[in-house]
Amino acid sequence: MGNKTDLLTVGSDRSPSRAREDYVKAIYQLGGGAPVRAAAVARYLNVSRVSVSKAKRLLEGDGLLEPEPAPAKPLRLSHKGRALAVAMVRRHRLLETFLHRSLDVPLERVHAEAERIEHVISDDLAARIAAFLGRPSSDPHGHPIPYDDATAAGGPLPTLASVAEGARVVVVSLDDRDDEAVGALAAAGVLPGAALRVERNDTAKMRVRCGKRVVSLNRRHAAMVRIAT
């Protein structure tokens, strides 16, 4: 196959619809339905506040944001915007599941790949992928796949980094946005469903027993792990 240093690295990749979908998804993931500050969106997407401010007008024009005549107000998704956001999340998680399960894409690379594909597949195709996979209930990082537009949020779970020594916990999910952490955690066997026991948690590296293995985890990586008891 074409092994010539990936020819395709040509342009940036900001298509009109892609940018809009990214904004909507960011607002949704930051607020979970609640209004979100523009500056937070800017940081989340690594763009300037100005870009968010301009995008705001365009998104309002598309009916994806609740129209807000008063300036300096937080961003609120409209019904349509929320539905689009949920559709994006659904596609993203279905794609991640497919890439990991069927194509054996390593866990830490699944997110980036899905991030690009999610913008170009139709709802119909997403439904076919879901059927192909047997309508999985969660993606390989442990996040639930929303099949209807219900939010089903629930407050954020505690992270592994915050657990007291000696505690036994179960891994619920990993933050897929941090490739490096996901790679390290997967290598250590810290995956959704794994039962852990925290051996030490007082320095930059914590020790965790995972099955028969005792592994050493970077604190920053452990902060990417959501857990339950």
Partner DNA sequence: GGTTAGCGTTAGCCATGGGTAACAAGACGG
Partner DNA sequence: CCGTCTTGTTACCCATGGCTAACGCTAACC
Count Cα atoms within 13 angstroms, Cβ side, for 199: 13
Say how many residues make up the chain.
229
Picked from DNA, its own copies, none, the partner binding residue 151 (CB below 5 to 8 A depending on kind) is none
* 71 near DNA, rule: CB under 7 A: yes
Among 34, 48, 54, 149, binds its own copies (CB under 8 A): 149
* 38 near DNA, rule: CB under 7 A: yes
Give the CA angle between residues 206, 183, 151 to the nearest 5°. Answer: 95
Cβ neighbour number for residue 27 with a 10 Å cutoff:
33
* 30 near its own copies, rule: CB under 8 A: no
Picked from its own copies, DNA, none, the partner binding residue 96 (CB below 5 to 8 A depending on kind) is none
* 151 near its own copies, rule: CB under 8 A: no
What's the rounded Cα separation, in Å, for the pair 15 and 116? 11
Task: Give the residue among 136, 98, 102 at the shortest CA–CA distance from 117.
Answer: 98
Among 116, 168, 200, 219, binds its own copies (CB under 8 A): 116
* 117 near its own copies, rule: CB under 8 A: yes
Q: How far is the CB of 91 from its own copies (least distance, A)?
A: 9
DSSP assignments along 154-210, one per residue: -PPPPBGGGPPTT-EEEEEEE-TT-HHHHHHHHHHT--TT-EEEEEE-SSSEEEEEE
* 20 near its own copies, rule: CB under 8 A: yes
Task: Give the residue among 198, 226, 225 at the shortest CA–CA distance from 210.
Answer: 198
* 179 near its own copies, rule: CB under 8 A: no
State the residues that interact with DNA by CB under 7 A.
11, 14-17, 19-20, 22, 37-40, 42, 45-56, 58, 71-74
State the residues that interact with its own copies by CB under 8 A.
1-4, 6-8, 10-21, 62, 64, 80, 83-84, 86-87, 90, 99, 102-105, 113, 116-117, 119-123, 125-130, 132, 147-149
